[in-house]
């Protein structure tokens, strides 16, 4: 409590010295002291909520904030007593790119894969996801990926562990047919654009990127997070037929493989899932946010 009160005092002092025209918070508890202090000093305030299920900080600060920007329409009804809520989406770096056939094939070649089979991109985020990694190891061990190729980011901290588990099964991490494994993928925009299906967690940024790229996806929400918000993010895509959800506790290599094949062996469904995902994408996000800032300044 003492540190919290001290935070309010420090935030107020910084704001008075800096004299901002507007104070913008991106959610999270750290916004509490800053937004409240700005409100008391009669400085315009704005919050951006990136998740479909708003966090506690946004709900508590709703009355004190001039405008709340949301990434998903589903969040609007979950924020009570807000002065003004505007659906803008979330700005992300990764954008949809229309590659020519030769350029696409060159990227696939650089990935170490072939253009003859669907490509499944697997990533549990920058740090990796152990449960997802375990399920992919199982798929590789049992050679279930006969109908598709895998490009997989294990996460830097888990790469050696994955390598060791594969070696225990006499599998060399660099010599698996149709599988390329990386600690981290630096060309993520290129890889996501050429992938046919994306597998990963369901943070707000990931959901936004997937919808922008018009990709079908298999989402495994991270459990034990505030308000189970990753599940609600995943439901944004799943409820529209754009994604399939597998709960973390229910994830196995067998189930994941079955879900992958359910998508890729039905090209019509795979195409429709991508189209449904793209329907959710918000266009001109940066411009919309800028316009709302101008209204307050």
| 197 lies in the same domain as 53 | no
Nearest-angstrom CA–CA distance, 143 and 165: 15
Q: Which pLDDT score is estimated for 3? A: 67
**Beta bridge partners of residue 176, listed in sequence order:** none
* 67/179 same-domain check: no
Whether residue 73 is predicted with pLDDT greater than 60 in this model: the reply is yes
Please write down the long-range contacts of 190-195, taking CB distance under 8 Å and 24 or more positions apart.
Answer: 190/97, 190/107, 191/107, 191/111, 191/121, 191/151, 192/94, 192/121, 193/96, 193/97, 193/99, 193/107, 194/99, 194/104, 194/107, 194/108, 194/111, 194/119, 195/119, 195/120, 195/121, 195/151
Q: Tens digit of pLDDT for each residue in 34-59?
A: 999 999 999 999 999 999 999 888 99
| Residue 126 pLDDT grade (very low, low, confident, very high; cuts 50, 70, 90) | low
Could you tell me if 6 and 153 lie in one domain? no
Contact assessment for residue 71 and residue 209, using Cβ atoms and an 8 Å cutoff: no
Q: Are residues 235 and 170 in the same domain?
A: yes
CATH number of the domain bearing residue 65:
3.40.50.2000
pLDDT value of residue 128: 65
- Domain with 86, as residue range(s), is 2-90+283-296
Does one domain contain both 253 and 181?
Answer: yes
Residues 126 and 273 in one domain: yes
Domain total in the chain: 2
Give start and end residues of each alpha helix (H) in 41-100. Answer: 56-61
Tens digits of per-residue pLDDT, 2-26?
A: 666 677 889 999 999 999 999 999 9
216 and 150, same structural domain? yes
Whether the model clears a pTM of 0.85, i.e. scores above it, the answer is yes
Residue 183 — pLDDT band, cuts 50, 70, 90?
very high
Strand pairing partners for 28?
Answer: none
Q: Is there a single domain that holds both residue 114 and residue 14?
A: no
How wide is the angle at C-alpha 74 spanned by C-alphas 73 and 76, nearest 5°? Answer: 70
Nearest CA-CA partner of 111 in 60, 182, 14: 182
Closest CA relative to residue 49, chosen from 70, 35, 21: 70
95 lies in some domain? no
**85 plus 185 within the same structural domain:** no
Give residue 260's pLDDT band: very low, low, confident or very high (50, 70, 90).
very high
Q: How many residues can be counted in the chain?
A: 297
């Amino acid at each position: 409590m003492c540190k919290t009160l001290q935070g309010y005092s420090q935030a107020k002092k910084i704001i008075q010295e800096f004299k901002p025209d507007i104070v913008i918070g991106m959610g999270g508890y750290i916004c509490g002291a800053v937004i409240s202090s700005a409100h008391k000093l009669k400085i315009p305030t704005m919050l951006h909520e990136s998740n479909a299920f708003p966090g506690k900080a946004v709900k508590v600060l709703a009355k004190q904030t001039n405008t709340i920007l949301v990434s998903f329409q589903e969040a609007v009804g979950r924020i009570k007593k807000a002065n003004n809520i505007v659906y803008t989406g979330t700005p992300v770096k990764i954008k949809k790119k229309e590659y020519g056939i030769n350029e696409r094939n060159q990227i696939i070649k650089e990935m170490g894969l072939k253009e003859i089979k669907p490509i499944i991109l697997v990533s549990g985020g920058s740090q990796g996801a152990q449960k997802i990694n375990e399920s992919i190891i199982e798929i590789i061990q049992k050679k279930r990926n006969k109908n598709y190729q895998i490009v997989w980011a294990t996460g830097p901290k888990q790469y050696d562990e994955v390598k060791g588990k594969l070696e225990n099964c006499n599998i060399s991490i660099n010599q698996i047919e149709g599988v390329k494994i990386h600690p981290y993928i630096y060309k993520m925009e290129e890889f996501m654009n050429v992938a046919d299906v994306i597998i990963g967690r369901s943070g707000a940024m990931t959901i936004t990127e997937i919808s922008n790229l018009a990709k079908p996806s298999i989402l495994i929400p991270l459990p034990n997070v505030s308000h189970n918000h990753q599940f609600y993010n995943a439901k944004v895509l799943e409820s529209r037929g754009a994604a399939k959800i597998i709960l973390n506790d229910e994830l196995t290599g067998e189930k994941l493989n079955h879900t992958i094949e359910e998508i890729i062996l039905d090209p019509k469904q795979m195409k429709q899932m991508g189209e449904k995902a793209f329907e959710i994408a918000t266009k001109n996000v940066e411009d919309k946010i800028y316009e709302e800032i101008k209204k307050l300044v």
